[in-house]
Structure 1
Amino acid sequence: MTLVPYTAGEKPSLVASLQRHREAVLWKLEGLDDEQLRRRVVGSDMTLLGTVKHLASTEYSWFCSTFDRPSDEIPSEVLDEDPQADWRIHPWETTEGVLSYYERARAAADEAIRELKVTERGTSWNGNRVTMRWVLIHMIEETARHAGHADLVRELVDGRTGDHREFTTDVS
């Protein structure tokens, strides 16, 4: 499990925080079968697998499209027609496919983060000029919020609780 360093600089601290929440989201999926990952347990259509699909598209959008980099986000035309399209898991979408999509999105985002300074500016989907710093903070918020949703959904699916994987520290 990634820990946010206590004394690192700005960018390494932001990246570690984002990674920590990404790991928490993925941890919430561990040990569940396909039916459980697709199960709706709250009033909305939210599922654990749908949360991952949404986060993948969102990472592509903010880290890639904002900075004119190649992106595989759910197209805005699709979202204009169906605002929940990035949350919906279709019968033909596999768990492995959605997890692979998230893995590719994180890799593309990580490449952008590595290559760009926190002061680099891009243009967001809504036309606002934003810095990489702002995008990192926004995606930490977004991922942490959905990790919290995943906490509750996972508890309703099978009773498992906890916000992060347990870890031990070697103090020798």
Structure 2
Amino acid sequence: MTVVPPTAGEKPSLVASLQRHREAVLWKLRDLDDEQLRRHLVGSGTTLLGTVKQLASAEYTWFCATFGRPSEHIPAAAFEEDPRADRRVHPWETADGVLAYYAGARAAADEAIRELKITERGTTPDGTVVTLRWALLHAIEETARHAGRLDVLRELVDGRTGDHPPAG
């Protein structure tokens, strides 16, 4: 499990924090079958797999589309037809496919983060100008919030709790 270095600089600390929350997200999915990953456990219809799809689209948005890089984010137009487009997992989408989408988003985001300065400016799809620093902070916040949601969903599936795997 990634540890945020207590004396590192700003960018390495932010990157480590994001990676730590990404790892928690993936841990929440470990050892579950397709039905469990897709199961609707709360009234909103939120699923473990749909939450990961949403995180993937968000990483593509904040780190790729915002900074003029190739992106596979779910475009705003999709939300006109389906307000839950970023988290809806269609019957033809496989768990492996959604997880590969998340892996691709993380890899593309990591490349952008490595290549850009923390003060680099980009423009979000809604026209807001942000820095890479802001995008990192936003992604950490969003990933941590979603990891907490996944923790509750995982507990409802099989009782497993905790924010990270036990040490050992």
Does TM-score exceed 0.5, indicating one fold?
yes
Match of 2:69 in 1: 69
Match of 1:27 in 2: 27
Match of 1:94 in 2: 94
What stretches of structure 1 of length at least 5 have no aligned partner? Answer: none
Please tell me whether residue 159 in structure 1 is matched to residue 159 in structure 2: yes
- What stretches of structure 1 move > 4 A for 4+ residues in a row? none
Q: Give the drift of 1:165.
A: 1.3
What count of residue pairs does the alignment treat as equivalent? 168
* Contact 1:55–1:143 (CA under 8 A) maintained in structure 2: yes
Q: Give the drift of 1:107.
A: 0.2
Amino acid at match of 2:47: T
* Contact 1:14–1:137 (CA under 8 A) maintained in structure 2: yes
- Equivalences for 1:1-172 in 2 at 5 Å? 1-168=1-168
1:128-150, CA deviations, whole angstroms, 9 ceiling, x for partnerless residues?
11000000000000000000000
Q: The residue matched to 2:42 in structure 1 has which SS?
A: coil
Q: Give the drift of 1:21.
A: 0.3
Cα distance between partner residues in 1 of 2:80 and 2:106:
24
Amino acid at match of 1:80: E
Q: Give the drift of 1:81.
A: 2.1
Cα distance between partner residues in 2 of 1:80 and 1:26:
30
Percentage of matched positions with identical amino acids? 73
Cα distance between partner residues in 2 of 1:71 and 1:79:
17
| TM superposition score normalised by structure 1 | 0.96
| TM superposition score normalised by structure 2 | 0.98
Cα distance between partner residues in 2 of 1:151 and 1:161:
6
Amino acid at match of 2:67: F
Amino acid at match of 1:99: L
Q: The residue matched to 2:29 in structure 1 has which SS?
A: coil
